[in-house]
């Protein structure tokens, strides 16, 4: 009986490519038998490395492989996040941390989880705190509803969204920090109402 010759398939390096927001830069590579094995793979990358801006070292961009082109794994952006250790450093005495979490919808029907982070320069209570919270969620929900997911990402990465939000809120009370702690795609059929202050993860 003739011997069966089994061909062993060799693994190959598969480059992972960022979307056009980052000029289709290579953000990693993985050794796989078939490029198709990369579909659905997720990874994170520092915004500092993507933009060559050292001021963005505390921000991570989350990616997911959504398409294979030749041996290249093309990605889409699934989230933006300030690393938790940085959030902790923001908080100091004699300030009020407003950590909110809610979902909303873009004009092109992406459902997003948004977690703004606002820290005031002094302690605020009662009606001022309530007004700040209402303005934060109202501004973001209305702004996001008018824009596509790609447009929101561009404004978030350029910090234009955060700067515009801050300009409106400082008319109510002086702020030390005004950021988007997290924004990412949420698998949900309908937008949720604004939730109570998020207590999870730091």
pLDDT of residue 168: 94
In 3D, which of 85, 74, 80, 58 has the Cα closest to residue 26?
Answer: 74
- Claim to verify: residue 16 and residue 60 sit in the same structural domain: yes
Report yes or no on 6 lying in a domain: no
The range of the structural domain enclosing residue 119 comes to: 84-185
Could you tell me which residue, 118 or 199, shows the higher pLDDT?
Answer: 118
**pTM of the entire predicted model:** 0.84
- Claim to verify: residue 67 and residue 137 sit in the same structural domain: no
- Claim to verify: residue 65 and residue 156 sit in the same structural domain: no
pLDDT of residue 158: 94
- Could you read off the pLDDT of 135-181 as tens digits, one per residue? 999 999 999 999 999 999 999 999 999 999 999 999 999 999 999 99
- Of the three residues 82, 116, 138, the one that is the final residue of a domain is 82
Q: Is 94 left (phi over 0), alpha (psi -120 to 50) or beta?
A: left
pLDDT of residue 174: 93
How far does the chain reach from its first CA to its final CA, in angstroms? Answer: 65
Residue 6 has pLDDT above 60, yes or no: no
- Could you read off the pLDDT of 78-92 as tens digits, one per residue? 999 999 988 888 876
pLDDT of residue 97: 86
Could you tell me which residue, 69 or 93, shows the higher pLDDT?
Answer: 69
In this structure, what CATH number is given to the domain that contains residue 165? 3.30.479.30
Specify the number of domains making up the chain: 2
Report yes or no on 4 lying in a domain: no
- Claim to verify: residue 74 and residue 116 sit in the same structural domain: no
In 3D, which of 70, 63, 71 has the Cα closest to residue 14?
Answer: 71
Q: Exposure of 41 by Cβ count < 10 A (0-12 exposed, 13-18 middle, 19+ buried)?
A: middle
Angle at CA of residue 173, ends 172 and 177, nearest 5°: 120
Residue 99 has pLDDT above 90, yes or no: no
- Claim to verify: residue 176 and residue 94 sit in the same structural domain: yes
């Amino acid at each position: 009986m003739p011997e069966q010759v089994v061909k062993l398939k060799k693994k190959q390096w598969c480059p992972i490519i960022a979307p056009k927001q980052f000029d289709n830069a290579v953000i990693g590579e993985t050794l796989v038998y078939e490029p198709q094995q990369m579909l659905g793979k997720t990874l994170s990358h520092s915004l500092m490395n993507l933009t060559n801006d050292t001021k963005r070292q505390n921000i991570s961009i989350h990616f997911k492989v959504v398409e294979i082109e030749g041996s290249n794994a093309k990605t889409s952006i699934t989230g933006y996040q300030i690393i938790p250790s940085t959030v902790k450093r923001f908080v100091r005495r004699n300030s009020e941390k407003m950590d909110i979490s809610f979902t909303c919808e873009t004009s092109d029907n992406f459902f997003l989880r948004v977690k703004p982070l606002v820290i005031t320069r002094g302690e605020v209570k009662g009606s001022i705190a309530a007004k700040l919270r209402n303005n934060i969620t109202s501004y973001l929900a209305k702004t996001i509803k008018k824009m596509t997911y790609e447009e929101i990402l561009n404004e978030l990465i350029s910090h234009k969204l955060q700067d515009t939000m801050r300009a409106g809120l400082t008319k109510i009370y002086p702020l030390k920090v005004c950021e988007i702690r997290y924004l990412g795609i949420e698998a949900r059929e309908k937008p949720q109402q604004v939730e109570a202050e998020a207590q999870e993860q730091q």
